[in-house]
């Protein structure tokens, strides 16, 4: 049964917060600190109101409630997907036993670590995007930015709820620290690398929502399989919201590529800078960067951490129940790439320790769908060019390739070759400056910046020229 949320509560929720006064008080004490963080490090552009989707309950009709809302009145709620009766753990050494409704003592530290890492990414992305509102290419895009930001804020709430409800004092301390680390901070950076990179322009924002949010989709997918049922239910609900973020990335890059292709055809040149477009070379370099730093988010391809998470029943595989094996993997092996004597070779390792790579290959397939889509747009407009994903060893800071220089095509090169060719493969200072020169706000309903095509449709059946945001 879905406990529907009372939206007049200070913290809308479907977890019967009123029935647990201690937990309610703890979360109400955290709330003003969250609000202070949002004011300090959330979106810098102040809008009067924004056409937002708000989750007001976890059931079909309630999770996507649309309306213009002043941001300071937005309520970040706590929503878990409905409980599945008699849910059982689907993998690892506890396979077949009832899913846990409480934290198993022996896995407390590991579970807490997973929640903290997941929770840390959510406010980080809001911090990374805080200045983008000032240069939005349209009101439609500005609205999407705010939507992504409030939902990342809600995802932080989701993890903080679990920390407060199940991890006692330590959980509360960790919840405080989630507001104290900051993206890019020298003293207290965010935990994972990609979340300390600046999101300096809208091309980076679309790449981030395509590639980095997609890591979120896959990580949440593995946590949705967790034997710890409250985590599973939390992630199942988060995944629905996450889908919108990826739509923003996919269609954002679609629209950039479409506009570039139009300009290439109209002026019969690849050099669309003269006409205010984004050359495909720059799109490819941004893609190379965001894809490679997002691959780092999967951890090393050989990891005992992931083997332990799986065996313990804490973190499963993508679509675990659809896999045709024994779901324990103790006797299986899997191939991973390593560098041996200056060559990339595939070696077999225990399948359990290769699970980060298992997830990464699901991610690769999904990322490739976008590339195919963008190449279709280029093909249809006769651009005669394509985009591609770089090799998984390219520009890596984590895992088997971290100590090597690998080209986007997958050849190992020495440091000197890398240095002389890096500017072909990764965004240069000149690229950043050029893209920055295009970042001028367009706040008139229905109008778009010249470097991006309009979206095919508006939000929630509204027209593209709808006044999605009322500025002050």
Q: Is 305 in the site for ligand BYC (CB under 6 A)?
A: yes
Instruction: Report which secondary-structure segment, H or E, holds 23.
Output: helix 21-41
Among 99-107, 115-123, 246-254, 331-339, which window interacts with ligand BYC (CB under 6 A)?
115-123
Cα angle 23, 27, 28 (rounded to 5 degrees) comes to: 115
Among 58-66, 117-125, 156-164, 463-471, which window interacts with ligand BYC (CB under 6 A)?
117-125
Six-digit token string for 460: 């929630």
In whole angstroms, the minimum distance from the beta carbon of 178 to ligand BYC comes to 12
Instruction: Report which secondary-structure segment, H or E, holds 279.
Output: none
Query: How distant, in Å, are the alpha carbons of 288, 289, 344, 425 from that of 391?
Result: 9, 12, 11, 12
Q: Is 112 in the site for ligand BYC (CB under 6 A)?
A: no
Q: Is 356 in the site for ligand BYC (CB under 6 A)?
A: yes
Q: Is 249 in the site for ligand BYC (CB under 6 A)?
A: no
Q: Is 213 in the site for ligand BYC (CB under 6 A)?
A: yes
**By beta-carbon distance, which residue lies closest to ligand BYC?**
299
Q: Is 299 in the site for ligand BYC (CB under 6 A)?
A: yes
Side-chain half-sphere exposure of 61, counting CA atoms within 13 A: 2
Other C-beta atoms within 10 Å of 169: how many? Answer: 8
Options 104, 189, 193, 445; binder of ligand BYC; rule CB under 6 A: 193
Q: Which of residues 119-158 bind ligand BYC (CB under 6 A)?
A: 121-122, 125, 152
Give the residue from 211, 208, 213, 210 showing the smallest Cα distance to 198. 208
Among 22-30, 215-223, 253-261, 267-275, which window interacts with ligand BYC (CB under 6 A)?
215-223
In angstroms, the first-to-last Cα distance of the chain is 42
**Would you give the DSSP letter of residue 320?**
G
Options 43, 92, 216, 455; binder of ligand BYC; rule CB under 6 A: 216
Among 163-171, 180-188, 208-216, 415-423, which window interacts with ligand BYC (CB under 6 A)?
208-216
Cβ contact 311:288 at 8 Å: no
Cβ contact 255:454 at 8 Å: yes
Cβ contact 403:418 at 8 Å: no
In whole angstroms, the minimum distance from the beta carbon of 281 to ligand BYC comes to 26
Spatial distance between the Cα atoms of 372 and 352, rounded to a whole number of angstroms? 31
In whole angstroms, the minimum distance from the beta carbon of 252 to ligand BYC comes to 14
Number of residues that bind ligand BYC (CB under 6 A): 25
Binding site for ligand BYC (CB under 6 A): 114, 117-118, 121-122, 125, 152, 192-193, 212-213, 215-216, 219, 296-300, 303, 305-306, 315, 356, 398
């Amino acid at each position: 049964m879905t406990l529907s949320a009372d939206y007049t509560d200070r913290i809308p929720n479907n977890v019967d917060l009123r029935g647990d006064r201690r937990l309610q008080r703890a979360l109400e004490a955290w709330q003003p600190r969250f609000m202070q963080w949002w004011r300090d490090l959330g979106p810098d552009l102040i809008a009067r109101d924004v056409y937002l989707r708000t989750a007001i309950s976890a059931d079909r009709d309630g999770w996507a409630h649309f309306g213009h809302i002043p941001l300071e009145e937005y309520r970040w709620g706590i929503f878990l997907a409905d409980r599945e009766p008699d849910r059982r753990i689907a993998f690892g050494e506890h396979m077949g036993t009832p899913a846990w409704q409480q934290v198993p003592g022996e896995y407390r530290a590991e579970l807490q670590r997973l929640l903290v890492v997941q929770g840390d990414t959510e406010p980080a992305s809001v911090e990374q995007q805080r200045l983008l509102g000032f240069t939005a290419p349209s009101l439609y895009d500005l609205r999407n930015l705010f939507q992504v930001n409030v939902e990342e804020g809600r995802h932080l709430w989701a993890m903080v709820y679990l920390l407060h409800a199940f991890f006692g004092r330590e959980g509360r301390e960790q919840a405080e620290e989630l507001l104290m680390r900051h993206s890019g901070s020298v003293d207290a950076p965010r935990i994972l690398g990609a979340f300390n990179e600046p999101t300096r322009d809208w091309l980076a924002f679309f790449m981030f929502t395509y590639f980095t949010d997609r890591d979120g989709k896959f990580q949440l997918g593995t946590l949705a399989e967790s034997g710890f049922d409250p985590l599973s239910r939390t992630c199942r609900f988060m995944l629905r919201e996450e889908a919108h973020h990826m739509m923003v990335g996919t269609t954002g890059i679609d629209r950039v590529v479409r506009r570039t292709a139009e300009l290439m055809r109209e002026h019969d040149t690849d050099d669309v800078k003269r006409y205010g477009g984004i050359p495909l070379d720059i799109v490819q370099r941004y893609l190379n960067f965001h894809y490679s730093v997002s691959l780092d988010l999967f951890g090393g391809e050989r990891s005992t951490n992931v083997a332990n998470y799986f065996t313990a029943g804490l973190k499963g595989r993508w679509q675990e129940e659809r896999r045709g094996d024994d779901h324990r993997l103790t006797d299986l092996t899997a191939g991973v790439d390593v560098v041996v004597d200056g060559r990339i070779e595939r070696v077999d390792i225990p399948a359990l320790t290769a699970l980060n790579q298992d997830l990464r290959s699901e991610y690769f397939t999904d990322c490739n769908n976008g590339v195919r889509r963008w190449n279709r747009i280029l093909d249809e407009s006769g651009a005669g060019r394509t985009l591609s994903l770089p090799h998984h060893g390219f520009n890596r800071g984590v895992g088997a390739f971290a100590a090597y220089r690998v080209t986007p095509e997958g050849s190992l090169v020495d440091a000197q070759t890398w240095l002389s060719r890096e500017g072909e493969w990764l965004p240069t200072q000149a690229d950043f400056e050029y893209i920055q020169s295009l970042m001028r706000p367009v706040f008139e309903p229905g109008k778009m910046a010249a470097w991006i095509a309009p979206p095919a449709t508006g939000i929630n059946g509204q027209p593209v020229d709808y006044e999605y945001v009322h500025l002050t």
